[in-house]
């Protein structure tokens, strides 16, 4: 069909003389620009995205590139790639960041804001929300234990020299 009924509050008035095709093109370009300027970060390799103990304000999606996750004292906990999400643990358990995130390569990172995360968590099945929270707590515990063993190993290595 050529026409559709929509609520007036979401309609956009197209000025006379502007074709529907041009209006659609301009809207798409505007939305893309908004997306790229307000919720996307272009990072260079080596840039820190957030550090241990920073407030957990956002969750991130890797649009392109690689991100290294490090413990408080620099133990590499993982390298994340395009399409992966990070920064969720502190957000879900409502605590400061438990790790540091650093761009390994030039990367484009998309921000997922708190409102979106809360909406999705509130819509989730309560059992799944509890599972996600439990896994987030265990990830933090596992990272802390890995770092503890890593630090102990460093001490033993230094004694063996």
Report the pLDDT value the prediction gives residue 37, as an integer from 0 to 100.
Answer: 46
Tens of pLDDT along 38-84?
588 999 999 999 999 999 888 999 999 999 999 988 889 999 999 98
Q: Looking at residue 139, what is its pLDDT?
A: 82
Residue among 1, 151, 147, 159 at smallest CA distance from 76: 147
The pLDDT of residue 66: 97
Instruction: Give the pair of three-digit tokens for residue 149.
Output: 């063993």
pLDDT in tens, the chain (161 residues): 567 777 776 777 788 888 888 878 777 766 665 554 458 899 999 999 999 999 988 899 999 999 999 998 888 999 999 998 999 888 778 889 989 999 999 999 999 877 777 788 888 888 888 888 888 888 878 888 888 888 888 776 777 75
Q: What is residue 140's predicted lDDT score, i.e. its pLDDT?
A: 79
Phi/psi for 68 (5° steps) reads -95, 135
pTM of the predicted protein model? 0.67
Measured CA to CA, the distance from residue 3 to residue 22 in angstroms comes to 17
Report how far residue 89's alpha carbon sits from residue 54's, in angstroms, rounded to the nearest whole number: 12
- The strand ranges marked E within 34-99 are 40-43, 48-50, 59-64, 67-70, 76-80, 85-86
């Amino acid at each position: 069909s050529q026409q559709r009924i929509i609520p007036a509050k979401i309609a956009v008035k197209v000025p006379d003389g502007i074709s529907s095709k041009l209006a659609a093109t301009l809207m798409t370009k505007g939305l893309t620009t908004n997306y790229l300027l307000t919720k996307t970060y272009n990072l260079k390799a080596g840039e820190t995205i957030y550090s241990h103990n920073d407030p957990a304000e956002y969750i991130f999606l890797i649009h392109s590139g690689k991100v290294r996750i490090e413990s408080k004292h620099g133990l590499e906990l993982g390298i994340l790639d395009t399409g992966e999400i990070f920064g969720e643990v502190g957000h879900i358990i409502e605590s400061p960041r438990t790790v540091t995130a650093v761009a390994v390569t030039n990367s484009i990172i998309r921000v997922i804001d708190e409102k979106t995360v809360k909406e999705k968590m509130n819509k989730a099945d309560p059992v799944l929300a509890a599972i996600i929270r439990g896994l987030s707590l265990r990830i933090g515990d596992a990272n802390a234990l890995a770092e503890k063993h890593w630090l102990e190993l460093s001490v033993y290595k230094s004694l063996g020299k």
